[in-house]
Amino acid sequence: MSAPMFMKGNEAMAEAAIRADCRFYFGYPITPQNEVPAYMSRRMPEAGGTFLQAESELAAINMVFGAAVAGARAMTSSSSPGISLKQEGISYMAACELPGVIANIMRGGPGLGNISPSQSDYFQATRGGGHGDYRLIVLAPHTVTELAELTMDAFDLADYYRNPVMILGDGLLGQMMEKVEFPEPEARRRTGLLRGRPLPPKDWALTGAQGRPPRLIRSLLMQPGVLEQHNFHLAEKYARIERDEPLAEVIGCEDADVVLAGFGTSARVAKQAREMLRARGIKAGLFRPITLWPFPYAQLAAIARTTRRFLVVEMNLGQMIEDVQLAVARERSLKDATIALLPRPGGGVPVPEEIVDKTLEVLR
């Protein structure tokens, strides 16, 4: 582990990508992630890589597609409206089983919205904003250090599963400066989400058919039944990911009367609220999914065995709450549970006090 640095989340993510051997970055400006292209434009050439400002988000994601086709580790980043424009390209990447990393530093929506932090693209990220039955692995860091770590993991998981991986952050995480510790990449490959599994060779990449038959990357499968087979193949892969990758941080849920659930920034704030509640003698727990897809249903269901009150804190109108409901329903009817929501859409960021207040209300 290198000495801690004090950096913006956006810059830490960019730096982590480079440390994880990403050598191709394609992006288009949009607040609040402009520090990513700015940083990449400085650092990539130093690292022997390529920074290219694409003409649009559409071009950027398709450049990531191209770089992945050629076997490179490539990345793009944007914020909500720009991510909407990438949906077709993301679907193509998933269909062609191309690795790649897409960061969404979310801002207030819908439409042009504003540039404040938001979490309102949860559905889009986890349910396929693009067309077709595909899934992204979605990672949701809540500190700058975790952002750096998960960025490194993102490239590894993308290569491991030949699937695009999304980093779902928000404007606060991207803009905030705090201490960041970059793990040593080799070590992280062992201790991070890859868990030391060896990466498969990219024996599918297009590099010129030298001494081998030509290769072909495509998603068009017109022969009857072939696309359905391909979908079942993808489904099998997704099932493996759902089995092996769900990850959550769980704090103090064993004896909890109420569990706060949230991801990223809202979970971070909820952590403080939980401590404040405990300080008041209220048995509050915290459930923070780190992988939003695959969502850690089983882990949350286990908690629902002993807890029936949940407060979901989201910087949106309530999206992850559906996954919380689906998880809790594995154990108990929703009639037999209280799953409350503290929604802060359109750029609002909750403060611990309001989470505490809302929790007290739930417990009443």
- Beta-carbon contacts of 341 under 8 Å, excluding residues fewer than 6 positions away, are 311, 312, 314, 318, 321
Determine the Cα–Cα distance for residues 10 and 37; give it in Å rounded to an integer: 9
Tokens of 257: 């009367």
Determine the Cα–Cα distance for residues 51 and 8; give it in Å rounded to an integer: 19
Establish if 155 lies at the interface with other proteins (CB under 8 A).
no
Out of ligand TPP, other proteins, a copy of itself, none, which partner does residue 285 contact, by CB within 5 to 8 A per kind? none
Determine the Cα–Cα distance for residues 52 and 44; give it in Å rounded to an integer: 10
Establish if 85 lies at the interface with ligand TPP (CB under 6 A).
yes
Q: Lay out the site mask for ligand TPP across 244-273 (x = CB under 6 A, - = otherwise).
A: ------------------------------
Tokens of 56: 């649009």
Determine the Cα–Cα distance for residues 268 and 305; give it in Å rounded to an integer: 24
Edge to edge, what strands does the sheet with 248-251 contain? 248-251, 284-289, 258-261, 309-314, 338-343
Which of the ranges 81-89, 299-307, 309-317, 346-354 carries the binding residues for ligand TPP, by CB under 6 A?
81-89
Q: Lay out the site mask for other proteins across 267-306 (x = CB under 8 A, - = otherwise).
A: -xx-xx--x-------------------------------
Peptide bond into 110 cis (omega under 30): yes
| Chain residues 204-263 in contact with a copy of itself, contact rule CB under 8 A | 218-222, 224-232, 234-235
| Amino acid found at 249 | E
Contact 33, 9 (CB under 8 A): no
Q: Of residues 9, 32, 49, 82, which one binds ligand TPP by CB under 6 A? A: 82
Out of ligand TPP, other proteins, a copy of itself, none, which partner does residue 268 contact, by CB within 5 to 8 A per kind? other proteins
| Chain residues 46-65 in contact with ligand TPP, contact rule CB under 6 A | 57
Which of the ranges 117-125, 137-145, 241-249, 272-280 carries the binding residues for a copy of itself, by CB under 8 A?
117-125
| Chain residues 95-154 in contact with other proteins, contact rule CB under 8 A | 96, 111-112, 115
Interface residues with ligand TPP (CB under 6 A) are 28-30, 57, 81-82, 85, 112
